Structures are given as structure tokens and as C-alpha cells.
Amino acid sequence: MTSLHADLTARRGEFALDVRFDVPAGSVLAVLGPNGSGKSTLLGCLAGLHLPDRGTITLRGRTLTSAPRVHVPPHARSVGLLAQDALLFPHLSVLDNVAFSPRARGASKAAAREVALRWLTEVDAVGLAGRRPGQLSGGQAQRVAVARALAGDPALLLLDEPLAALDVDAAPAVRGLLRRVLGAREPERATVLVTHDPLDALALADHVVVLARGRVVERGPTRQVLGAPRNPFTARIAGLNLVPGTATADGLRTRGGGHVSGLPAPDVVPGEPAVAVFAPGAVAVHPAGAPPKGSPRNTVGAVVGGLEPHGAVVRLRAVDGEDWAEGVTADLTPSAVAELGLEPGTPVRLAVKATAVAIHPAPSQ
């Protein structure tokens, strides 16, 4: 059953947002996209802060927006918002911050505090009830903000980069908290998560839509979209390489006139737009003058553009490459980097086995 339906167009100067999507009851939708893709405008429309130029937003069958005549104000929408910053009222205790939402809905002070204590217990923050926001760490404040957002029993929960402002120690704990409270699905609630972090999407969301220039360019189950991206931005946040071109029987003809051999997905049609996707770990790096070992089907010359630590490996970014090599990333061990004498400006040859390359149809947009 659909809980949230949005079909809207909103203009902000030269920018136009034009999207349509549904969020089933009890599920989480992640919205991904580069800066300027329309994520903030979309959240503003859902929250009632912006009136779209055209379209409708319905929640549990109730019309919140039917532009330009119907527009339910933010306080009457049954929408909870969790943003990057906790935005707690500094003059209220933690308990009264969380009790604010049920109080605003008409609950008595005692009843609102009872709800607040239940949610503070749920987020492992009941021991903070008597403190003021200024006495909390970033992670503690965000836990309280989660409790406050849910204490109002919203029909729609909006999560706007909820972990972006947290340090590396606090973010995993709050992510785990969100996974737990969202995993105990409220059967009727819809949740929309805006994030730049694929880990947030994978951990929290059932489905994902990817925005680019105000339009949806990819959508589907989260693991499917991030595991087989068909858009450069999606590939980048998923940590994968993507080469656009035209499908062939055994791979892809690149825009530069070259060819990438790979394994076509069942829905690939030769002659139609397609993308080749492969992991940085599948890219072997060789000295420019040395032939690659084995018999990789895909080899191309490039120059090392950058070397950056990436967990236990070093991620190489290629520049000034032949054909499809521009921007390709490769993961190497620190010892391999030293052995090859790699540094920015070093010419190299990249090699990728055809069995490591997946060919997918490109989005129609």
C-alpha cells in the first residue's frame, strides 16, 4: 500500500524540479544526487515549506498539496524532520524537547512526558533527560533529535543528511540506532532519507531514487541500484567505475571509438545506450612500457592523477587517459605503489579482465 505519493514540478529561478515517486507504507526511500540536483527543494515541498508550481502530494490518502490551490501548512502535515543539526531548543531540558511534539498535538504535559521518556529509552538516552542541549555531545544531541522526531508519531519522517555533522565515532552508533528504530517498522509510516553516503542508503533504505538536474535518473531497490549503477554520480558514490557508450554483442563501444569487453546483462540491447561498470579492485596497474600479465581484454594507457589512502589500500585516479581511462580509479596495496614507483604524473597502463566488467543499459533520461 502506498503511503506517500509525490508528482510535482517546482521552479527556483533557472532550476526546475520535476519528479514522481511513491513510498510504500512502512518503507524507507533514499534520495541521492549531487549538489544542485534538487534534493533540498524536494524535501521543502514534502515538508510544506515550498509550494510547487504544479502537482500533488498525498500522504495516507490525504492531499497535502494540490498546486496551486491546496497547500496544507507544515505544522498540520504530520511530518517529522531530522536534519544534520539537532536543532534542539536550548532553553528546554532534553525531556521537554522530546515532549514538545506530543504537546503541540494537544497531549497533556504528563502524557507528553510519558511519550518522551518512552522514546528516550528507545534511543538509549533516558539518562540525559534532565540535561540541557548545551551539555550534550554531537552524538547525544542527535539521539535526542531522533526521539523528538518520532515522539510526534509522524505519518512521514524526513531525514535530511542526519549523520553528516557527526564525527567518525558518533556516526556509526547513530546509524545503528536509526537502523533499529526504522527497522521496527511503523506499518503506516513513510520515511524519506536524503544522503550522500551510500552506507546510509544501504543500511537504512529499501529503495533509492537518484536525482540529476531536477529529474529522477535511476530508481529501484537500494542494493540493486548501488550494485549496478547506470549513472556516473551513482557509480561514484557506490565506489565503482562507469564508462558510457553503446552496447555491442560482447561489451561496449565507447564514445571515443574504443571498445570495452564485458558481460552484458540480459536486458542489454546492442546498438542502444549502455554503461560498463567495474570495481576499482578489478583494475590492474602496470608500467607504461610493460605488457600486462595474463590476457586481459581491456587495456589502456593513462597517467596517474592522484593517490589517496582508501582504507587498507591506496586509490589511484587516472587522468590524461586514452579513450575510456580518464577518471578511472584503481585500488592498490601500499607495497604495489612503492614497487611501481607511482606518483602523480607517472605514465601507466591499466588492465581490466572482461569477466570483471558488467554491461548494463543506460537510463533512458
127-152 pLDDT, tens digit each: 999 999 999 999 999 999 999 999 99
Indicate if the alpha-carbon torsion angle 219, 224, 227, 228 is positive or negative.
Answer: negative
For the chain, the structural domain boundaries read 2-227, 240-364
State phi, psi for 41 to the nearest 5 degrees. -65, -40
Q: What is the mean pLDDT of residues 163-182?
A: 86
Predicted pLDDT of residue 321: 82
Task: Say which CATH class 240-364 falls into.
Answer: mainly beta
61-105 pLDDT, tens digit each: 999 999 988 999 999 999 999 998 999 999 999 999 999 989 988
CB 350 within 8 A of CB 285: yes
d(CA 357, CA 296): 11
272-301 pLDDT, tens digit each: 999 999 999 999 999 997 777 767 789 999
d(CA 306, CA 319): 9
Residue 185 — pLDDT band, cuts 50, 70, 90? low
User: In this structure, which CATH number among 3.20.20.140, 1.10.101.10, 2.40.30.160, 3.40.50.300 belongs to the domain 2-227?
Assistant: 3.40.50.300
- Give the contacts of 316 (CB within 8 A, at least 6 positions apart): 285, 304, 306, 307, 329, 330, 331, 332, 337, 342, 348
Quick one: cell of 107?
Answer: 497531549
CB 163 within 8 A of CB 200: yes
CB 129 within 8 A of CB 177: no
Rounded to 10 degrees, what is the CA torsion of 43, 85, 162, 157?
Answer: -50
As beta bridge partners, residue 261 has 251
Predicted pLDDT of residue 150: 92
- For the beta carbon of residue 229, count every other beta carbon within 10 angstroms: 25
